[in-house]
Amino acid sequence: MDARQVEQVLAHLCGKGLFGDVRQWCESRYDCVYVVTCPDCGCRFVLSEAEFNELVERSAVLQVCGVSPASFEVRTPYPRPPLLS
């Protein structure tokens, strides 16, 4: 795991004051990566689950950039409640 990837994502997004768009990609049920796309220039960062979790924590502290609170849903291990779908 390379924590510097998290630094790169934060530096890029926070340099513009943006929240990245998050997609979860799974090769199989237990082999998932997170792709954070910059809404400004479209560049992508691929993060492991551990890196993404760190990015979420860092973003929660910063509050103004990183990954948006809405994207936290991505890593929720529970199915979305029917009322919200």
SS3 84: helix
One residue of 3, 41, 62, 64 binding Zn ion per CB under 5 A: 41
* Residue 73 sits in the site that holds Zn ion (CB under 5 A): no
One residue of 3, 4, 8, 40 binding Zn ion per CB under 5 A: 40
- Provide the minimum distance between the beta carbon of 14 and Zn ion in the complex, in angstroms, as a whole number: 11
Nearest-CA neighbor of 52 among 80, 23, 79?
Answer: 23
One residue of 14, 38, 53, 74 binding Zn ion per CB under 5 A: 38
Distance set, CA 30 to CA 6, 19, 58, 66, 69 (Å) = 21, 26, 24, 25, 24
User: Which among 1-9, 31-39, 52-60, 71-79 is the span making contact with Zn ion, rule CB under 5 A?
Assistant: 31-39
